[in-house]
Amino acid sequence: MANYDVIIKNGTIVTADSIVQGDIAIKDGKIQEVSVGKSIDVAAEKEINAEGLHILPGLIDTHVHFNEPGRTEWEGLETGSRGLAAGGATSFFDMPLNSTPPTINKANLDLKKACAEEKSIVNPYFWGGLVPENIADLKELHENGVIGFKAFMSPSGIADFNHVDDETIFKGMKEIASFGSLLAVHAESTVICDQLAKEKQSQGKTSARDFVESRPIISEIEAVRRIISYAEATGCKLHVVHASSRKVVEVITEAKQRGVDITVETCPHYLALTVKDLEEKGGLAKCCPPLRDEDEVEDLWAAVANGEINVIASDHSPAPASMKTITDNYFEGWGGISGAQSTLNIMLTEGHFKRNLPLEKIVELTATNPAKLFGLTNKGMIAAGYDADLAIVNLNESFELKNEDLFYRHQHSPYVGMTFEGKVTTTIVNGEIVFENGKIIAEGKVNA
């Protein structure tokens, strides 16, 4: 009789504060024992030899758009969660848009939960939406387990998910504060972006550079400053998603120092791609806020290294290839990066290997902080009692990402063609191996 379900032997165990050599024993979906310096010699149903491999807490991707139900032809819970598993992620927080209906009331949340229950091969969590029409629904969404609320301060690109006016922000934040949840914001200034876009388009200026100039860093800063004021006026906890520049992060850091309860996310694309990629790759590299120039990328890495960023998340927001094709007008075509499978690859290649970012820091930003900030008390850590959500990585293996490696509904990504150092060999979710040596092996799931 096996005492454990799985034992991972002789791996290099990476947490947010240490790197040690040891064994990990798993039973009933939980880490039962982590043994450093002494092997666990107990029978197990499955033994994984992790000699020469690194074991990280599975990534918790706090920002994905899996678009199901209703827009599954763009991306779905099955394909999206497979992409995550292949990239070493074991949990995700799905955004309230671009599914139809959007997650703006309990009935819609229930629909999404049912889809995820049936199809996701990693742990699903959900954001609720804050839109001008649903302040009365926020409390019930909170009581039904949403992670927090997401609002757009500028148009979302989706007809059934309206962006918030200032009055909605204020009322919504007051309401969210009353039951102790938090608001995540897409912070770009509607006025600045709309006016600049109109000017550009009326002059026939529609290049990649024109598009980027129509959504300048100051537009993010204006929106972030405004929302910080509302946070201070209402006492609502705030999380700013996808900051594209350290200049945006600095405004947040200054507010933190004043005692504002605020955190900030950035995404791999702002750390690995530039306007040049937008020019060369076209729609594949289009997103909002847009990619910035090289000096901004270096500054953002400095912010990551210095602890000014709380969370790295993918903002995976794909669309069919036809919607990502841009011929000459960059104001057309879907804005959203297809990238959930590559977050760890980018953090390892561009962060650890190229810029000496410690592995512990990568774990902190992709797993430990997300778990702590959003109340996932059993996740984001490798220690006895925690959920057995793990990514096993071979840091000595490199590979070039190919379209056919992607598990998404649409096999494209701006990261295709990049050579990554470090490859995920195995992903374990709640003690079950869901991905191993290039293959999804989750049992009992749709088409697994």
> Which residues lie near ligand 3AL (CB under 6 A)?
65, 97-98, 156-158, 186, 287-288, 317, 335-336
Q: Distance between CA 318 and CA 236 in Å, rounded?
A: 31
Give which of Zn ion, ligand 3AL, none residue 98 binds (C-beta under 5 to 8 Å, depending on kind). Answer: ligand 3AL
Whether 269 has a binding-site annotation, put simply, is no
Q: DSSP for 369-392? A: HHHHHTT-TT-S--STTSB--EEE
Q: How many CB atoms lie within 10 A of CB 187?
A: 29
Q: Considering the complex, state which of residue 67 and residue 425 has its C-beta at the smaller distance from ligand 3AL.
A: 67
Give which of ligand 3AL, Zn ion, none residue 335 binds (C-beta under 5 to 8 Å, depending on kind). Answer: ligand 3AL
Q: State in angstroms the smallest separation of the CB of 20 from ligand 3AL.
A: 38
> Which segment (96-104, 120-128, 184-192, 248-256) binds Zn ion by CB under 5 A?
184-192
Among 27, 186, 292, 409, binds Zn ion (CB under 5 A): 186
> Which segment (75-83, 106-114, 308-316, 323-331) binds Zn ion by CB under 5 A?
308-316
Among 94, 308, 315, 350, binds Zn ion (CB under 5 A): 315
Q: State in angstroms the smallest separation of the CB of 325 from ligand 3AL.
A: 16
Q: Distance between CA 46 and CA 4 in Å, rounded?
A: 8
Whether 412 has a binding-site annotation, put simply, is no
58 in Cβ contact with 92 (< 8 Å): no
* Listed residue (311, 228, 226) closest to 267, CA to CA: 311
Matching residue, tokens 């989750």: 442
CA atoms within 13 A on the CB side of 374: 32
Q: Which residues of 385-399 are buried (b: 16+ CB within 10 A; e: fewer)?
A: ebbbbbbbbbbeeee
- Comparing every residue's Cβ against ligand 3AL, the nearest one is 287
Q: Distance between CA 315 and CA 413 in Å, rounded?
A: 13
Q: Does 61 bind Zn ion (CB under 5 A)?
A: no
Give which of ligand 3AL, Zn ion, none residue 142 binds (C-beta under 5 to 8 Å, depending on kind). Answer: none
Q: How many CB atoms lie within 10 A of CB 15?
A: 21
Q: Distance between CA 93 and CA 91 in Å, rounded?
A: 7
Residue 390 identity: L
Under rule CB under 5 A, which residues in 240-299 are in contact with Zn ion? none
Whether 150 has a binding-site annotation, put simply, is yes
Matching residue, tokens 């990551």: 304
Q: Considering the complex, state which of residue 74 and residue 435 has its C-beta at the smaller distance from ligand 3AL.
A: 74
Give which of Zn ion, ligand 3AL, none residue 157 binds (C-beta under 5 to 8 Å, depending on kind). Answer: ligand 3AL
22 in Cβ contact with 51 (< 8 Å): no
Q: State in angstroms the smallest separation of the CB of 446 from Zn ion.
A: 25
291 in Cβ contact with 274 (< 8 Å): yes
Whether 65 has a binding-site annotation, put simply, is yes
Give which of Zn ion, ligand 3AL, none residue 222 binds (C-beta under 5 to 8 Å, depending on kind). Answer: none
Q: Which positions lie near Zn ion, rule CB under 5 A?
A: 186, 315
Residue positions forming the annotated binding site for Zn(2+): 63, 65, 150, 186, 242, 315
Residue positions forming the annotated binding site: 63, 65, 150, 186, 242, 315
